[in-house]
Structure 1
């Protein structure tokens, strides 16, 4: 190959490279700035093919989409001087390409570091206004809303818009967790002891009331039983009296038979005179009324 041909090939390569360096393509997911000698001469090109001055102008591409990062704050001090560990995430996007490039040189890691510092400072300020109970309760949403508004204002200098801030986890630092849990257990045990004492007192009161009602019921029942027993004894006495008046001889004989059954129907030894009053029905006198009653 002759030197002339080599020169032509080199010229063609230079022309091709110059033509290639004078064009750039932007897609829908990108934001662009064109820099010439350290100064921005173009920004936010529409998607498609564009041209620039080769070798002098340079193109910087940035992501147009919403980006997310997560961070953790080891110690957040509340209004009651209690420490919390906070995990959070931040969603952000480029809002002003020129400000973003001038403040961060388009470095995403630097942007993340600056946003982390902003959000951490805002979180520390919001938590310092609240107690732990408020922070983990209903005011948690108020905290992230206030942090998002303030962080978005602070991030405008970076050409960045903070679209969302969320707290993922709130926890106590490991070195104080055990002492806090022990205190919580002690408080729960105290509540348990109080409730148990109240339950024992209520149970004792219920037992006392039941015992008192039992005593009253038994007394009423005993009184009614005695009344009924008295009425029954009176009725029995009345019936006995009526029976006695109808046939005194037979009644006397019947009572004597009952006495014989009760007194003589066991193994006891009785020594009595045979002519005693007890044996009048065993040795009736001739012509007496008892003999006629025993003849049947």
Structure 2
């Protein structure tokens, strides 16, 4: 029984020892082999590898993929015309030499990101100080990013190389600081209001002009229509007078009788009219008596 337990214990110890001597390097990582705290080897190819058990040798892993560093600092920068702007940027970078990276930067990706953030920010500050806001927003932005990338590469490849490669540097946003942004928005709003008021004034003036012209055209049209109507009326009255004259000239006695009827109509126009006449001596009602028409125009009634 003791023998079986000893064998099982020996097997477990052997398996534990074997597992501490075997390690697997993923295709997305570098395997850095340490011997008594010193870098002995860097495994760049994925697969199964062997080493001495700790504490003689141990292994650490560093990411070999393309990494992205986004800006987190919102401190404004000064342009060439002393305008305070805030920029957002990102950097695509990767570790190319794990040995140099560990010796000069650190043992993980966070250490490189922190130092790279400082270098990139300083490079942006230096380049933005040389340019105006208009240049930052124009096609010269590409030149700015190219200059920043060049300066960052010079820093990481200097006397103590970092063992990294900077693939790309990009600006995602350029904006004024909040106080200036609010002022710009207020100026834009005031300008839009001024333009709107100017358009309203122009529209009101045009409206008044159109209404005045329409009133003038209306007055002209009414005046012309009245003139034409009076002309037609005058022509009609003249023609009616001519017809009456021709008709009365053919029968003067009938004309006298017709005028007497008109006089009767005018005399009894209202209910309250009162007439005091002498029927025997007056010719006014002679047409009613059935005699011949009066020889003269009947005199008007007294009211």
Q: Normalised by the shorter chain, which TM-score bucket?
A: 0.7 to 0.9
Aligned residue in 2 for 1:294: none
In structure 2, stretches of 5+ residues that fail to align are 1-5, 296-303
Secondary structure, counterpart of 1:73 in structure 2: coil
Aligned residue in 1 for 2:47: 48
Deviations 1:43-100 (A, max 9, x none): 3421112234665655331012333343133213344433233344444322343443
CA contact (8 A) 1:155 1:161 kept: no
Deviations 1:189-217 (A, max 9, x none): 32232222222222222222222222222
Write the mapping of 1:66-215 to structure 2, written as runs, cut at 5 A: 66-70=66-70, 71-125=72-126, 127-128=128-129, 129-131=131-133, 135=136, 139=139, 142=142, 146=146, 149-150=149-150, 153-154=153-154, 157=157, 158-165=162-169, 167=171, 170-215=174-219
Measured in 1, the distance between the counterparts of 2:46 and 2:289 equals 148
Aligned residue in 2 for 1:28: 27
**1:252 Cα deviation (Å)?**
3.0
Matched, 1:268 2:269: no
Deviations 1:247-282 (A, max 9, x none): 333233223212211222312334556545544424
CA contact (8 A) 2:96 2:165 kept: yes
Secondary structure, counterpart of 2:287 in structure 1: coil
Measured in 1, the distance between the counterparts of 2:140 and 2:117 equals 19
Aligned residue in 2 for 1:241: 245
Measured in 1, the distance between the counterparts of 2:148 and 2:84 equals 22
In structure 1, stretches of 5+ residues that fail to align are 1-5, 292-296
Question: Is 141-150 or 60-69 further displaced after alignment?
Answer: 141-150
CA contact (8 A) 2:32 2:43 kept: yes
Measured in 2, the distance between the counterparts of 1:99 and 1:185 equals 55
TM-score for the superposition, normalised by structure 2 = 0.71
TM-score for the superposition, normalised by structure 1 = 0.72
CA contact (8 A) 2:119 2:152 kept: no
CA contact (8 A) 1:155 1:162 kept: no
CA contact (8 A) 2:146 2:169 kept: no
Question: Is 38-47 or 206-215 further displaced after alignment?
Answer: 38-47
**1:159 Cα deviation (Å)?**
3.0
Bigger share in helix = 1
Are residues 131 and 246 of structure 1, via their aligned partners in 2, closer, same or farther at CA, if it must alter by over 3 Å? farther
* Pairs aligned (count): 278
Aligned residue in 2 for 1:3: none
Matched, 1:281 2:287: yes
Secondary structure, counterpart of 2:274 in structure 1: coil
Measured in 1, the distance between the counterparts of 2:138 and 2:278 equals 107
Q: RMSD of the alignment, in Å?
A: 3.9
